[in-house]
Amino acid sequence: MQLVSFSFCNGLRVTNIRLKDSADKHMSVFECSQVQVHNVTVMAPGNSPNTDGITMGASDHVRISSCNIHSGDDCVSILTGTTDVNVTDVTCGPGHGISVGSLGGASEKPALVERITVSNCNFFNTMTGVRIKSWQGGRGKANTFLFRNLNMTQVRYPIDIDQFYCPQGNCPKREGGVAITDARFINIRGTSSEQEAIQILCSKSVPCHGIFLHNVDLSWANHTAPTKAKILNAQGSIAGTVKPQVRFRGL
């Protein structure tokens, strides 16, 4: 049960509130348009499952700004049917980061998420920084992402695209997937808690296209060894300095 839930709203404004220790998601926004969420604080233990900070689905033109979110799940979760989202000046951690998805679940219609911007955010001790996650065998598309000016502090996977999302393990292999295209990662700096700081894992049947990294500098916290990137079935390009080294292969 969500602590605060908004459905079928137009012109929604949520400002200057504090949410604490929900048994489930703290705030949900469903089938809303022209939404502004500003100066909201969410507090929950890092080991509390499913306590997303702000979750939205089937909504458009959503702006989230100047929020401070500590949770046991996603700080911000962007679900299918959501378009034109701007997340800025959010502090996230602990938690699972700012996530798109999961998309393409078994009972879900073809997924659609597009025109998502995440900028000027800080992540502390989170599972991921920014993430796009989808299930094998899903359908639909997720496109036009801009992740810019992000600071990471001991984040396990600061950049994560995962078309094999399977939180419980032992998921059956399926053909197809949600098509992920046009994702730009610009000016992302800080430290990872794992050596593999970047994961871009896409399916052979529906590869990722249009991945762009520019001025990315991620070090392995408390280690001198360089960070690494794991790239699978993804087409993209880089510009400026990108650390760890990323190699896209022709598809």
Residues with catalytic function: 96
Contact 163, 202 (CB under 8 A): yes
How many C-beta neighbours within 10 Å does residue 1 have? 7
CB 27: neighbour CB atoms within 10 A?
25
Q: Which residues contact 167 (CB under 8 A, 6 or more apart)?
A: none
Residue type, 143: N
Please state, in angstroms and as integers, the Cα–Cα distance from residue 11 to each residue in 63, 66, 159, following that order.
Answer: 11, 19, 32
CA geometry: angle 140, 146, 147, nearest 5 deg: 115
d(CA 189, CA 219): 8
Q: Could you write out the three-class secondary structure of 96-155?
A: CCEEEEEECCCCCCCEEEEEEEEEEEEEECECEEEEEEECCCCCEEEEEEEEEEEEEEEE
Beta carbons within 10 angstroms of residue 110's beta carbon: 12
Paired tokens of 17? 């509130």
Q: What is the per-residue DSSP string for 61-108? A: EEEEEEEEEE-SS-SEEE-TTEEEEEEEEEEE-SBS-EEEEEE--TTP
